[in-house]
Amino acid sequence: PEVKKIAVISGDGIGPEVVAEAEKVLKRTEELFGYSFETEHALFGGIAIDEKGTPLPEETLAVCKNADAVLLGAVGGPKWDSNPKELRPETGLLGIRKALGLFSNLRPAVVFDCLKDASTLKPEVLEGTDLMVVRELTGGIYFGDKFRRQGENGEEAVDTCVYNVAEVERIVRQAFEIAQKRRKKLASVDKANVLETSRLWREVVIRVAADYPDVELEHVLVDNCAMQLLRRPASFDVIVTENMFGDILSDEAAMLTGSIGMLASASMGEGAFGLYEPVHGSAPDIAGQNLANPIATILSLAMMLRLTFGYADAADAIEAAVAKVLNDGHRTSDIAVDKSKAIGTREMGDLIVAAM
């Protein structure tokens, strides 16, 4: 079989530990399904700042560009938090998104049955929640001009939010297509009663919707969406929105599932290329202690196998193995009710490999 190339970026904090478990799982899919992967490791984030003097070294970008997909652990930590902008892990994150053209961030928020009590929401409200936030990732206020200037009333700061029709259209089409493969409902979130970029956004959504007559569309104002996610989470299927709103709403949606240590994400460009990473952060407080939950990273790998490589059999096998291990009662400490019975990062990885 064709050898697929995966760039592996362990990153900071618990990143290396959770990525190591995902790599075990990857190896197992080779044995089970005959697929063949070549992995290449690269430095990124805080560790790259320390070792190379920049969060996103040129070599790392080259490794990613040369690969079919990227697996990322997590980046950042207090060590780099007060660095100047160019020497911060986030700057690397924004840089890699732009450089790889990753315009679409897919964040499924699902409630794992065995974890439904972990949410701060009432179980009956959460029942059936299974939504996907599709966030525009390379435009908007994140990437517009930003500067300081002297205004009439002293120093001022400016950020610019820009969207063009093509940028909106490609993400919106992708969201409609995802909705077609799910429950056929799309909520487009904007602030069209205030923002010009939102009015453009809504015009494009309305025009594009004509090509997806089987998808039920609603327009939701961002403030209202922040409320409705709390009131009726299960009623959402796919939510599509611009970069800044997506940042806020996807985190709100993730937290309401109560399963944040288990959520995967994909950042996609044109074609099948994608960067896959867990939703959780680098958790420096528990790094290096075999305490981290590797499931979100392993499920991110499953997303990669499905979306980039089209290896649905392998993705299914991984997801089924995760479900089985959880159903058998195994828990890392973040999701354990009885922490004294919690297993470690490596043990969880081994159990998932064994269950495949």
* 226 near a copy of itself (CB under 8 A): yes
Among a copy of itself, ligand IPM, none, residue 244 binds (CB under 5-8 Å by kind): a copy of itself
Cβ neighbours of 350 (radius 10 Å): 15
Q: Binding residues for a copy of itself, how many (CB under 8 A)?
A: 57
What residues contact 354, with CB distance under 8 A and at least 6 apart?
Answer: none
* 12 near ligand IPM (CB under 6 A): no
What string of DSSP letters covers 173-232? HHHHHHHHTTTSEEEEEE-TTT-HHHHHHHHHHHHHHTT-TTSEEEEEEHHHHHHHHHH-
* 36 near a copy of itself (CB under 8 A): no
What residues contact 283, with CB distance under 8 A and at least 6 apart?
Answer: 13, 14, 74, 292
Token pair for 169: 């259209």
Cα-to-chain-centroid distance, residue 39: 21
Min. distance of Cβ 281 from ligand IPM in angstroms?
9
Return contacts of 86-89, CB within 8 angstroms, 24+ apart: 86/54, 87/49, 87/53, 87/54, 87/55, 88/49, 88/55, 89/12, 89/45, 89/46, 89/49, 89/55
Q: Binding residues for ligand IPM, how many (CB under 6 A)?
A: 7
Min. distance of Cβ 325 from ligand IPM in angstroms?
27
Q: Which of residues 185-224 bind ligand IPM (CB under 6 A)?
A: 193-194, 223
Q: Which of residues 53-92 bind a copy of itself (CB under 8 A)?
A: 88, 90
DSSP state for residue 104 in the 8-state scheme: E
**Mask of contacts with a copy of itself, 171-210, x by CB under 8 A?**
--------------------x-xxxxx-xxx---------
Spatial contact of 135 and 105, defined as CB atoms under 8 Å apart: yes
Min. distance of Cβ 241 from a copy of itself in angstroms?
11
* 93 near ligand IPM (CB under 6 A): yes
Q: Is 92 annotated as a binding residue?
A: no
Q: What angle do CA 247, 248, 251 make, to 5 degrees?
A: 85
For a copy of itself, give the closer residue by CB, 35 or 44.
44
Min. distance of Cβ 79 from a copy of itself in angstroms?
15
Cβ neighbours of 309 (radius 10 Å): 20
Q: Is 291 annotated as a binding residue?
A: yes
Stretch that binds a copy of itself, among 16-24, 145-153, 301-309, 327-335 (CB under 8 A): 145-153
Token pair for 40: 């290449």
Binding site for ligand IPM (CB under 6 A): 90, 93-94, 193-194, 223, 247
Binding site for a copy of itself (CB under 8 A): 88, 90, 94, 120-122, 125, 141-142, 144, 146-148, 151, 153-167, 191, 193-197, 199-201, 222-224, 226-227, 230-231, 244-245, 247-252, 254-256, 260
